[in-house]
Amino acid sequence: MATSRNPKQAAGWKIAIAICCFAAGTSVAAEPLELPSEIEAIENARVEAVERAMPSAVCVFVPGGGGGGSGVLISPEGYALTNFHVTSPAGTFMRCGLSDGRVYDAVLVGLDPVGDLAMIKLLGRDDFPVATMADSLKARAGDWCMVIGNPFLLATNLQPTVTWGLLSGVGRYQYPSGTLLEYADCLQTDASINPGNSGGPIYNDRGELLGIVGRCSFEKRGRVNVGVGYAISINQAKNFLGYLQSGRIVDHATLGATVSTDSDGSVVVSNILESSDAYRRGLRYDSEILEIDGRVVTSANDVQNVLGTLPSGWRVEVAFREAGKTSRVPIRLMGVHRRDELLTKMQAALPPPPPVPDQPEDETPEGNGDSKEENAKESDDQPKEEDAPKSEKQSPKRTKRSPHGASAIPAQAAKLIDERKGFANYHFNQVHQDRIQALLRSQFPAEIATAEQTQRWLITGTNSDGGDVVLEVGNDGLAMTTGGTRMTASNAAELFEAVDRDAIGGILAALDAWRRMIELGTTQFGEAYYQGTMPLAGQRPLRDCLVGLYGEMEVRWLLHPETGQLECIEVFADRDSDPAELWIESNGSTINRLDLKYGLESKLTVEIDDWKREEVATP
């Protein structure tokens, strides 16, 4: 019976047949065995893929001998991904080696303790080799793959270990380990993974990055790899890149509802919070969920897999059927944890500081890969010290230690570290705050306010009915005239009430916050921080998001990542109600239209005729 196979499968069979014939003695020619051209091409392609991928693999070493792991470079500036449990014993500073034989200082950037991801930045150059990212949703069980990393910290010569295998499964879900770590929609592989591989890359057979290696299963007594390893998908990591670059400690998303798989195979809501945005958008008990963020869901496991790859605070499209009607709406996702709860759980998951032996400066610390966190996390998979040969347990030289015993942080790294509660490294958040502030000011040229002067905006236009609209925004007062009615506000409390009532006065709150941010900047506006990148109304590309607290309100500015144009301002009076959304349309130099929305409903549209900016004396 004839069968059809793809070229790789056919080549595999031919190799197996050739080996069997050679073993059986059917071919004893003295001349070297010549491989068929298609087999030679496949082998050459594999060699090329390894050579293409290896420069982007990172060997991570914790100063002081507290362990280490692996990572992968994703930008020429030195940003790299690894595991949370790899960086946790190191704190904010570590050493990293590349296959070029050089060791680089590195600092922590951001943390995702729930998804076991961390971002670090290698220092010293701006042309680091970068991995090419694949689309992990296209990966299938049976695909070839390779893992490159630093198992048992064997890469003391900075030449990482390469293992080859298959993707054994995709879309796996691993329940939270201990108090925190959750692996959603992850990849399973039989490529050899051991302690020290954690945080490193898994590539496809073309050398493209599929994911970040994390968990692995081991036979408990013999400490033998049983061929079941897991990797965080690169698509999940892509969703979190902006959040991680913000220098924050970030959380994952939940719908604000629980689901179950019905007897007919559909996914239905089994419980829902009435305070959730999902409820406000029409989701109810027994509603059938069809898609989340463009992915079809057919089981409760599918729902958890999709949500587990999304950051909290994102707004994504959800398709559902309620009372026979199918709807597709953007829904704001809630966080899995409250802020203080996340920080508390993260602290509980951290290992104790690594011991630093009293040894001469020229001695190197001993380590065996990954952090001590992995003992609790991965069923006792941390190898014992005697498992690695003594000649292979050396990691790169440490910098000179401080009087307290911990390694001193080099000056070039120390200036990039700003430890602050709630942040992995506030320095990088401040960098992005400054960048967004500059974009806001460049889009809307204006003199920066001084103690003696401030700006006043006078905006005139027409509403959707053709009626005149006048908006007056300044420190001397706020007013809106539309349809012959004049509304005024003199303070943040009055603006809060307008937003809380879903009133059209919410446009004044958004405009005033915008004006104040341009004039004062993030440091004087009040508490402000860069949140990262997120969809706008459920649509990509991901927008930059700056957050500021204005009175009792939270304000978000969302800017297009390519043009830098401000597209929307969201003003929240209460997380349990819709924010005022001011959508801004411009041609790049002139603002043409303002549209005030609450939820999916447009409350006021203003076609702009004129926008005057006046300097007025401060009272």
Query: What distance separates the 2 farthest-apart alpha carbons in the chain?
Result: 101
Sorted by sequence, the CB contacts under 8 Å of residue 52 that are 6+ apart come out as 132, 206, 207
Q: Residue 606: what residue type? A: V
Residue pair 110/244 in contact (Cβ under 8 Å)? The answer is yes
Does 136 participate in catalysis according to the annotation?
Answer: no
Q: Which of 56, 168, 177, 198 is catalytic?
A: 198
C-alpha to C-alpha distance for 184 and 467, rounded to whole angstroms: 52
Strand residue runs (E) in 386-501: 453-462, 468-474, 477-482, 485-489
C-alpha to C-alpha distance for 550 and 528, rounded to whole angstroms: 9
Q: Which of 408, 559, 553, 429 is nearest to 492 (CA)?
A: 553
DSSP string, 170-223: EEEEEEEETTTEEEEEEEEE-S---TT-TT-EEEETTS-EEEEEEEEEEETTTT
C-alpha to C-alpha distance for 333 and 315, rounded to whole angstroms: 6
Does 85 participate in catalysis according to the annotation?
Answer: yes
Tokens 């400490």 found at: 223
Residue pair 198/83 in contact (Cβ under 8 Å)? The answer is yes
SS (H, E, C) 501-554: CCCCCHHHHHHHHHHHHHHHHHHHHCCEEEEEEEEECEEEEEEEEEEEEECCEE
Q: Residue 340: what residue type? A: D
Residue pair 67/83 in contact (Cβ under 8 Å)? The answer is no
Judged by DSSP in three states, 279 sits in: helix
Q: Which of 56, 85, 233, 302 is catalytic?
A: 85
Q: Which of 116, 251, 293, 302 is catalytic?
A: 116
Cis peptide before 89 (omega within 30 of 0): no
Does 116 participate in catalysis according to the annotation?
Answer: yes
Phi, psi (degrees; rounded to nearest 5) at 194:
-140, 170
Give me the active site residues, please. 85, 116, 198
